Structure 1
């Protein structure tokens, strides 16, 4: 099979599209023929060697944790799923024709594989942030950098729970934030005062790592009421970095339920073929995403691709 991998830590140029042995489902796992894989910031952070504590990585390594596909192998002890079922979930080395998932749920009816691949990690992260920051119905949460995948999920889940969200994003994404239920404002010079004019903030989350931790603490009045998933220097300000996943199976069940009820939708901003994984990482690193980026894989057809991911972006 074809998969994207890297043999050394570094920039997007270290990614290669290679021939690899097909993985097999172990106990408590399923294997899927991957149709699409989600692109997450943690993917390029792992590739750069930034998060080895939370994500120990043995080289050479595959890339990706989110996928949607068709179950074609079921491990020992797994019940309630059958070969041929369409699922989305989390696993390892998902930028590939076949991948093993450790957590999954059936895809809601009418959801395309490309869309489904964009949900697992961001929904789990959004649910975890709301839980860990301790914001409650009737309170106001500030989300800095709210137009990406996690922000898109967080705004909709918070709205469903009766939490007001003030979201910051670029000028081009203001209407998008409002469409998801947020009170929107732009970042950049004067953003703190613009937020203050919108009302008091009970808690805040940093989703973009744009160097705003000090200001978020100032707005909430308490570093314990601030969380980040993107700024590794946040502990200097007494702010927690939230990087340990909660219950992914529970998050997937909640995601499927909200999607089926029409209460959660995360658009796919851009999709890439497997050979363009490096370009996907470059774009993800640049930010300014509205929704999600995904790698589209058609199991069986990618076998004819011979170029590397880095060559594709040269």
Structure 2
């Protein structure tokens, strides 16, 4: 559904005699009737009223009601507009707008089933309200659509030039060895969000960047080793500046991108994209990080260190 006042006309499929009404060429016939009514009553033609498909995104406000509609709008626009190469990267963009998504697997009548379930998030990144199956939102936000978008993104993001804008901005900021809060704020001014993933010991094991101008989502390691999670952990931890809880969310950041327009009251929070959200289910990136650390310890023991 669309975010403006409108009406739905509902009719039955049988006439007054109980005979089924033909539905052949239904769309073409209904369009013809619509045009006749527009002409008869001097109405503005529907074609001129069509809204752009990429509506400005707003963060989901579960207190405002009609949460399914809000979640649906965010999921559909993000799926169509952004390029991401994994479910986690898709989830990272959604989180900025107060939405999260989980993959569900099962078996129906002997056949394997894969699907998606969407949920709204509060300001702390916690799930609120009831979750929604992708089938209730539409095929354009479903599992198959996600796989197609990931495949498309992988192909289109093979060119290194895709990352040039983001790499240049991030490199320039890192050259000044900023603390975490400054780094996040300066990125936001350039229309880039960053999401750090940390374990219980506050160790950064993952970093995802979202360039809202280029509509790209990528892990830091894709830019090169100098942008990996370990580099950021060492940089922020070396100077004892790991905490980012003091960010002034009331301050407005200027975004050099007209298509990226979250609601005004949450612009800074949305752009920074630094929610320390709990990753529901298995976090394979953290498991891989933990295994690497264990292997390093074993090697040290082997050398008598």
| Short-chain TM bin | under 0.3
Point out the structure with max Rg over C-alpha: 2
Q: TM-score, normalised by structure 1?
A: 0.25
Quick check: which one's helix share is greater?
Answer: 2
